[in-house]
């Protein structure tokens, strides 16, 4: 489960970078467009959306980890 969490965080990071580099729609495009027109409130909203979704996916994997590894005596989740 640790591998799932680490790979999920790495893939999320790659997704955010890809969105910011070459997207023509989506949240990354919204952030880049707002940055070009100096609309910082939209930039912060986009960053906040990325952070919330990343935290939610990590929390989901942690909950799954707790449920799946409950049987191990050495696990302290």
CB-side neighbour CA atoms (13 Å) of 7: 4
Q: Do residues 58 and 50 make contact, with C-beta atoms less than 8 angstroms apart?
A: no
Residues contacting 20, CB < 8 A, separation 6+: 28, 31, 32
Predicted pLDDT at 36: 93
User: What is the mean pLDDT of the segment spanning 39-68?
Assistant: 93
pLDDT tens for each residue of 7-49: 998 999 999 999 888 888 999 999 999 999 999 999 999 999 9
How confident is residue 77, by pLDDT bands cut at 50, 70 and 90?
Answer: low
């Amino acid at each position: 489960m640790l591998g799932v969490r680490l790979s999920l965080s790495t893939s999320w990071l790659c997704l955010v970078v890809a969105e910011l580099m070459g997207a023509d729609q989506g949240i990354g495009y919204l952030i880049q467009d707002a940055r070009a027109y100096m609309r910082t409130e939209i930039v912060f909203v986009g960053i906040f959306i990325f952070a919330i979704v990343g935290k939610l996916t990590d929390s989901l994997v942690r909950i799954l980890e707790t449920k799946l590894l409950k049987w191990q005596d050495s696990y302290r989740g």
